[in-house]
Structure 1
């Protein structure tokens, strides 16, 4: 039986035989009529019909001096049963795959819910070439950093960004005092800058580098005159007990969203 079924599919693998089979599925036809519809000779049609008959896909009967061919319902039914078996198996396999994917997604979601979020990401786009976008962020950091974000005992006179690895970002007070609250870890103009966040959950300068997070800022040229800035503040859990307050603070409206909004505002009308 398996050989029969395989022969059926093999027989229909030829495009001419498929065309003959499709015409016979419409109604019974003689060899001459089939040859008239197809660009092949009567002997060729007869040869294709023999293959289809041997595969039990068509049957024939004699009408006067000619033979008329039609689809073999029994053979076609067995062929359909063979296909249905694979269809059922395919559906079962698909069902198993989907259920496994759902299970994995639920596991991942459960793990995500049980694992504290230690990264904060924000993005902004400015209408400026990448070189200028990078320069304004680094050289003009003090122009968009809120002055009220201050750990000095006096008002801030200026905020400086030292453009080199090993440099600092620091606030200088009106009395000349300084607060170095970040270290430049990577400086690759005009594409990347990375600096530490040396501010503890208690709003004090953290002197232990192992207890600081880091901020990566990437500059991506979307066009010659437009740049996308992607900021990622990561490893926030390094701040130790109370690190969640650091995360919530930099993620809130008065955190990085405020910085980036003011930064983008520097390009308005330019």
Structure 2
């Protein structure tokens, strides 16, 4: 399956085509069943189905001497993920524009400068890409990224909103350095960055940044992972040091590289 960006929404802009899609969402149907509810001809319905199928929104199968059409869940999930990504970027741009108008000063561009964006395409279905990122986070997180006094034993990612990312040392001590803010398998996970400019746990949540990770299906076995670490300026004086650290080759790029290698080694 290809990545369709927002083309699917243009396809559904046609009223008849949208109605066909909605009826297929209720249950699988043949061309004859679909045509019975329209004033258009069966060939016209077949043409609309071809457009929906080419857009990755519908699949078909043979049942006796009939061809049955149904909604493709993978295509719809990819379309939803693309729309989520589109609105995230659009709203971020809108917010920046509002801040610029309000401030009337180049200093208001700080929020945009205090972002780190990285992405990688991995050879895995979207469901597996999400599962490995969350459930196996400790397997690709570098062991040396540890502020505990003792050697790191494990890193646990609690898979729920309100959960934490926890480093546990071999002596039993713990460091809860992130809070899970959004957990939407298999499309998105978001967590806080609760470390201050001295790389110690920050207890004031108003002085923490956010890591937003989105998973977008490019095909049945390829997933694009987009990571955005934003609001880093909220850490206060010295936030540039955090930005430089997570943006460097030893920061998020290293995490994503090790994550991709983990997926590849277990393919």
User: What is the TM-score of this pair, normalised by structure 1?
Assistant: 0.58
Q: How many residues align?
A: 163
SS at match of 2:246: helix
SS at match of 2:172: coil
User: What's the offset of the Cα at 1:112?
Assistant: 6.8
Which protein has the larger Cα radius of gyration, Structure 1 or Structure 2?
1
Q: Which of 167, 174, 186 does residue 170 from structure 2 map onto?
A: 174
Q: Which of 225, 230, 235 does residue 221 from structure 2 map onto?
A: 225
Unaligned 5+ residue runs, structure 2? 1-99
User: What's the offset of the Cα at 1:140?
Assistant: 0.3
Q: How far apart, CA to CA, are the structure 1 residues paired with 2:161 and 2:109?
A: 33
In the TM superposition, structure 1's runs of 4+ consecutive aligned residues that sit over 2 Å from their partners are 111-116
Preserved contact between residue 209 and residue 231 of structure 2 (Cα < 8 Å): yes
Q: Which of 223, 226, 231 does residue 235 from structure 1 map onto?
A: 231
Preserved contact between residue 132 and residue 263 of structure 2 (Cα < 8 Å): no
Preserved contact between residue 115 and residue 231 of structure 2 (Cα < 8 Å): yes
Counterparts of residues 21-40 of structure 1 (less than 5 Å): none
SS at match of 1:199: coil
Q: How far apart, CA to CA, are the structure 2 residues paired with 1:268 and 1:137?
A: 13
User: What is the TM-score of this pair, normalised by structure 2?
Assistant: 0.59
Q: How far apart, CA to CA, are the structure 2 residues paired with 1:197 and 1:153?
A: 20
Task: Say yes or no: does 1:193 pair with 2:163.
Answer: no
User: What's the offset of the Cα at 1:115?
Assistant: 3.4
Q: Which of 105, 115, 120 does residue 109 from structure 2 map onto?
A: 115
1:87-108 Cα offsets, whole Å, 9 max, x none, are xxxxxxxxxxxxxxxxxxxx9x
Cα RMSD for the two superposed structures: 2.0
Task: Say yes or no: does 1:156 pair with 2:155.
Answer: no
Task: Say yes or no: does 1:256 pair with 2:229.
Answer: no
Unaligned 5+ residue runs, structure 1? 1-106
Q: How far apart, CA to CA, are the structure 1 residues paired with 2:241 and 2:107?
A: 18
SS at match of 2:228: strand
Describe the shift of the 1:248–1:262 C-alpha distance in structure 2 as closer, same or farther (beyond 3 A).
same
